[in-house]
């Protein structure tokens, strides 16, 4: 069946990305990240271009909808950092998205008791790197593309991959001064 093959594909890419970056990921996080990555790429249902995180947060709705709004804030934040790091606004930093996701998932954990949200809340930055690594596997050995990517997005994935390939950031910082 096609959906299960796609589910397996995204799950395996998430696990491969974590392993290649020497990052441990629990099975529940790998499943969650693969699901939101699949939704974002195939369905384009996570990232809303016409609505901001603040607008989602400020919606005055029923308690059940509030949980879903916070979940959406967390998911959008992870997707924006993990899949589209170069497209964020100059006014909104990576730290803003990390804080919003962590706070949103913490709210979801407190309301649902689901430990996946607790794990997400404490590992947002790592989760973003894992998704980014799964997306970026095609450039993992191209030093020029990796360096351009790191310079433009400050991706930890790209930096770790460059170091693993023998690239020295110490030499770069000397050249830049």
Are 33 and 78 in a shared domain? yes
Are 114 and 46 in a shared domain? yes
Q: What is the 3-state secondary structure (H, E, C) of the chain?
A: CHHHHHHHHHHHHHHHHHHHCCCCCCHHHHHHHHHHHHHHHHHCCCCCCCCCHHHHHHCCCCHHHHHHHHHHHHHHHHHHHHHCHHHCCCCCCHHHHHHHHHHHHHHHHHHHCCHHHHHHHHCHHHHHHHHHHHHCHHHCCCHHHHHHHHHHHCCHHHHHHHHHCCCCHHHHHHHHC
For residue range 32-62, list pLDDT tens digits in order: 999 998 888 766 555 555 566 666 666 655 5
Are 156 and 175 in a shared domain? yes
Are 118 and 157 in a shared domain? no
pTM of the full predicted structure? 0.72
Domain tally for the chain?
Answer: 2
For residue range 22-34, list pLDDT tens digits in order: 889 999 999 999 9
Are 85 and 172 in a shared domain? no
| pLDDT < 70: residue spans in the chain | 1-6, 42-64, 86-91, 137-143, 170-177
Are 53 and 103 in a shared domain? yes
Are 36 and 100 in a shared domain? yes
For residue 171, give its domain range.
139-177
Are 167 and 92 in a shared domain? no
How many whole angstroms separate alpha carbon 43 and alpha carbon 82?
A: 16
How many whole angstroms separate alpha carbon 37 and alpha carbon 132?
A: 10
């Amino acid at each position: 069946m096609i959906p299960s093959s796609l589910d397996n594909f995204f799950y395996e890419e998430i696990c491969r990305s974590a392993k290649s970056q020497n990052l441990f990921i629990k099975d529940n996080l790998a499943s969650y990240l693969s699901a939101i990555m699949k939704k974002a790429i195939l369905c384009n249902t996570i990232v809303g271009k016409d609505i901001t995180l603040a607008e989602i947060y400020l919606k005055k709705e029923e308690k059940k909808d509030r949980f879903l709004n916070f979940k959406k804030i967390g998911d959008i934040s992870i997707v924006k950092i993990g899949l589209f790091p170069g497209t964020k606004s100059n006014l909104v930093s990576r730290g803003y998205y990390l804080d919003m996701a962590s706070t949103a998932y913490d709210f979801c954990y407190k309301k649902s008791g689901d430990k996946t949200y607790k794990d997400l809340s404490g590992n947002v930055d790592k989760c973003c790197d894992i998704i980014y690594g799964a997306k970026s596997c095609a450039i993992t050995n191209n030093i020029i593309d990796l360096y351009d990517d790191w310079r433009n997005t400050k991706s930890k994935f790209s930096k770790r991959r460059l170091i693993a390939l023998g690239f020295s950031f110490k030499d770069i910082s000397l050249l830049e001064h």
